[in-house]
Structure 1
Amino acid sequence: MIEGELHQLNWMSYANESQSNNTVGLQYMGFLELVLFSTVTSVPCCVFLFINGTMLFTLRSKVVFRETSRYVLLFNLLFADTVQMSLGQLLFILNAFRIRLTYPVCGVFTMLAYFTNVIPPLTLVVMSLERYVAVCYPLRHSTIVTIRNTAVAIMVVLGFSSLNILTQVILLLDFKFENLESLTMKENCVRETMRLGSVSDLYDKVYVYFVFVSAGVAILCSYIGVSIAARSASTDKASARKGRNTLLLHMVQLGLSLSSTIHNPLQLVLSKVLDKKIFVRIQIVLYVCVIIFPSCLSSLIYGIRDQTIRPILINNLCCQWRCALSLSVVPAKAKSSMHITS
């Protein structure tokens, strides 16, 4: 019993060191520099959220998108990426300005992060299987890949993610919160902080490895199946080629999703070998490249590559930019006219 509690305390000290290093360099920054670096991360995040939001609106604006399985799956993927990016930026700002949350509030944010983190790789697996059926069984594609079956697949993905959250909550119940002096956290709210025990940490690692290895194997098998079908004389060569390219993109997306899981461990290593002021600048770059950019990549890939989405997406983006500019120009004109009148 005593040995188990000592092990838990050792693990918690490591977790506190890890998450403290996550924003340790921020204490070496003045207020103006802190605002500057927060702006550097917020601007690309807002731009990517604008693009993702426009893409989500585009996918719900036409019947063809709402009744085509791959576009429904794409909407599910983008929605999870958008929530994940918004949540990550919110926590980054809170941690940067040293705003301490309570354990229940941080727990809600952490569980939501766990939930949205698993949805993209599992959705990519379903999208890869859809492309495999489209290329290898084109005559049966319309009967296998239906809106109803797609909805069932999405429910399975959400159920699997919810099961992970339920397990995490059960593991958290073993921690003796009554021994805490206060529910207000003394450290930053990151996922490492809420892993209150060695079992929780081990489960999280095993779960992440299992999900990404399984997703990688499924996408790779789909790619091999499509490549073999591409050599068949009875297969549409153009369709097979597009299918292989799509599956390659899914592999890249899976890799980028996996990169977000090594963000904090990589920061921990860099914080031990770099100067604090240099580390915090590299930390900002890592956050933008590893966390923010991959969450917007799906919109850029499908929005530009898909010939059905591209013209509608560009039109929606242009219209929203014009509306934003017109809203900013009208008040300026109104002020100038009031000044002339007076």
Structure 2
Amino acid sequence: MANNNSLVGGKSLMQRVNYQVILVQVFVALFLCINFLLITTFFMKDFFYTAMRYILFANTLLSDCLILIITNILLIFSYFRVNMQMWLCLILYILSFLYTLVTPFTLMAMTLERYVAICMPLRHGELCSTRSSLHCILIIHGLSSVPCIIVLSTFFASASLSFYKQYRVCAVELFIFHSWQSHLKSAINQLYFLIMFITIVFSYVKIMTVAKAASGENKKSTWKGLRTIILHAFQLLLCLIQLWCPFIENAVLQIDFMLYNNVRYFNYITFYLAPRCLSPLIYGLRDEKFFLALKYYALCGLYRKFF
């Protein structure tokens, strides 16, 4: 009887897991399709890839697509307990670690671009040129790689050569051998969180000051920029919370495996998928020029107002 109950309970758990995995696949496929359409729209018009905010927006979309694909692969492998060699897991982990930070740093850069556009309009063309955009993307990737290099340096110093040939279920916890490595990673994340938080607050206060002093069309444009900053702040907050998710999940894993699965699923939906669906909203739908171009290409050229 106990065995039958165990079998029924196990079957119920597997069915629930399957439903969860299927739901995630639907969301990921939807967001990837939307992002692909937005990226296609970006490259179809010269205007978009000569303006800094759209270049950074495209960088966010590409980063989001990559992180969605990688994390989705890891999620599927984890749920179905699929083993892989550690060297392959390490590559996926490096890409995941790097591009988890690329998106929030890009959001911070987009916030600063709005700050320059509203508070320093005469210098916007100089500071936010196409060349500056490319330099900014390089800086974003450089800053995002610093924590990855530091954390992986401690891992490479601790791991033996035989570790890379082992077959295990890929998880971030496998690359942390000592508690101090976890504390170091947490400290770096907290530092980055503080820097981004200060940047967002600074930009918000400055734009708020300009908004109160503006009048007419300038006031309308400034308040729109302020709302964009607020959306960026919310999106950035969700992205930064996901940096803490591995530590929360690791703590829950020590308590109960089923709870760990539920928490991990909730974190993925809330802090990985949700922030990525805000990017199309902020610039894909709220930006008039991008929305008109998107509408044109989505309707296969039937909507010609943009041209």
Tell me whether 217-226 or 157-166 shows the greater mean CA deviation. 157-166
> 1:279 Cα shift?
6.5
| Residue 160 in structure 1 maps to residue 143 in structure 2 | yes
| Identity, % of aligned positions | 25
Residue 113 in 1 paired to residue 96 in 2? yes
Q: Secondary structure at the match of 1:53?
A: helix
1:248 aligns with one of 230, 234, 241 = 230
Match of 2:243, SS? helix
Residue 4 of structure 2: aligned partner: none
**Residues 1:46 and 2:12 are matched in the alignment:** no
How many positions carry a matched residue from both structures? 292
Counterpart of 2:213 in structure 1 is 232
User: For the Cα contact (< 8 Å) 1:51–1:317, is it kept in 2?
Assistant: no
Which structure 1 segments of 5+ residues have no match? 1-25, 321-342
Deviation at 1:47, TM superposition (A): 0.7
Change beyond 3 A, Cα 1:316–1:29: farther
Deviates more, 1:254-263 or 1:190-199: 190-199
Match of 1:257 among 224, 227, 239: 239
Q: Give the drift of 1:108.
A: 0.7
State which drifts further: 86-95 or 299-308: 299-308
CA distance in 2, matches of 1:266, 1:207: 16
Change over 3 Å in CA distance of 1:234–1:191 after alignment to 2: same
Greater radius of gyration (CA)? 1
- Return closer, same or farther for 1:281/1:204 CA change in 2, 3 Å cut-off: closer
Alpha-carbon contact 2:106-2:140 (below 8 Å) kept: yes
Superposed CA offset, 1:104-128 (max 9, x none): 1111111111110111121122111
Q: 1:110 to 1:275 in 2, by over 3 A?
A: closer
**What do residues 182-210 of structure 1 show as CA deviations (whole Å, max 9, x unaligned)?**
83244x31222212333432221111111
Instruction: Return the TM-score normalized by structure 1.
Output: 0.77
* CA distance in 2: counterparts of 1:161 and 1:270, whole angstroms: 27
Structure number with higher relative contact order (C-alpha < 8 Å, ≥ 6 residues apart): 1
Give the superposition deviation at 1:234: 7.4
Match of 2:58 among 60, 63, 75: 75
Greater CA drift, 149-158 or 278-287: 278-287
Matched, 1:90 2:68: no
1:16-55 alignment to 2 at 5 Å?
33-55=16-38
Please name the residue that 2:160 is paired with.
177
1:126 aligns with 2:106: no
Deviation at 1:294, TM superposition (A): 1.7
Q: CA deviation at 1:268?
A: 5.0
Equivalent residue, structure 1, for 2:285 = 304
Cα gap change, 1:158 to 1:27, in 2 (>3 Å): farther
Between the aligned partners of 1:28 and 1:272, the Cα distance in structure 2 is 24
